[in-house]
Amino acid sequence: MEPAYLTPSIEQIAGLVVEKLTQGGKLADLANADLMTIEDETIEQVDQVTRVVINTLLRRQSDAAPPPRGCPKCGGGLCEKPPQARSLQSKRGRVHFKTDVHRCEACRLDFFPSDEDAAL
């Protein structure tokens, strides 16, 4: 874990969003922006941040998942396949991430590391 002085506070993160919006962003002309515009643009910007955060967390979770011990069906060996791209609609827009896939050639099934029961 990073030391506390390296962890940005909420105010610091918010400050970055403000800079992003006002310095050449959609609220560059802040003086003439009405409340609806400010609210919409802020939410859109923060939603983008939210999606990036979710993507990153999902990638980290995938990286941290233990490697599969063997095929859940037959117990045989699994070979690694290229990670599969996934896209899910979240409350804050679409999030994209990749999930590891392993294949059992004997069973002809693909398995996902965090779900030993699911096979496609």
Partner 1 sequence: MKTLRCDVDSEQTPAVLKKIVIASARDRSYATASRNLEDLADLKISAKQCQRIAIRIGTERLDEQAERIEAYCTASIPEQQHGQSADAPANDWNSRVAVVQCDGGRVQVRDKFWGKEKPKGPKHRWWRETQAAVLQTYQVQVSGSDPTPEVPEALRDPLWVIPRLNEIHRQHMASRRSGEPESDPSSDPEQSPQSVAVEQESLAALSGPKDRQTRWSGGDPLVKTIVATRRGYDQLGLALAGEAYHRGFNKAKLKAFMGDGLKVNWSLWATHFSHYIPITDILHALSYVYCAAVASRDRIEDGWTLYLQWLNWVWSGRVDLVITALKHQAAGQEEVGEPVRRAITYLSNNAPRMKYDQYRRAGLPITTSPVESAQKQISIVRETTVGIALFPTGRVQGDGAGKPSIISRTMLSPFSIFCRT
User: Is residue 90 at the binding interface for partner 1, with CB under 8 A as the rule?
Assistant: yes
Residue 91 Cβ vs partner 1, minimum distance, rounded to whole Å: 5
Asked if 116 interacts with partner 1 (CB under 8 A), we say yes
| Among the listed residues 71, 95, 102, 104, the single contact to partner 1 using CB under 8 A | 95
Q: Check binding of 41 to partner 1 (CB under 8 A).
A: no
Burial (0-12, 13-18, 19+ Cβ within 10 Å), 48: middle
Q: Using alpha carbons only, give the angle 99, 61, 93 rounded to the nearest 5 degrees.
A: 70
Binding segment for partner 1 (CB under 8 A), chosen from 1-9, 21-29, 70-78, 84-92, is 84-92
User: Which region among 11-19, 26-34, 58-66, 75-83 touches partner 1 (by CB under 8 A)?
Assistant: 58-66
Distance of alpha carbon 42 from alpha carbon 60, whole angstroms: 27
Token digits for 8? Answer: 């940005």
Interface region with partner 1, contact rule CB under 8 A, candidates 5-13, 20-28, 30-38, 109-117: 109-117
Which residues form the interface with partner 1 (CB under 8 A)? Answer: 58, 61, 65, 87-91, 95, 99, 112, 114-118, 120
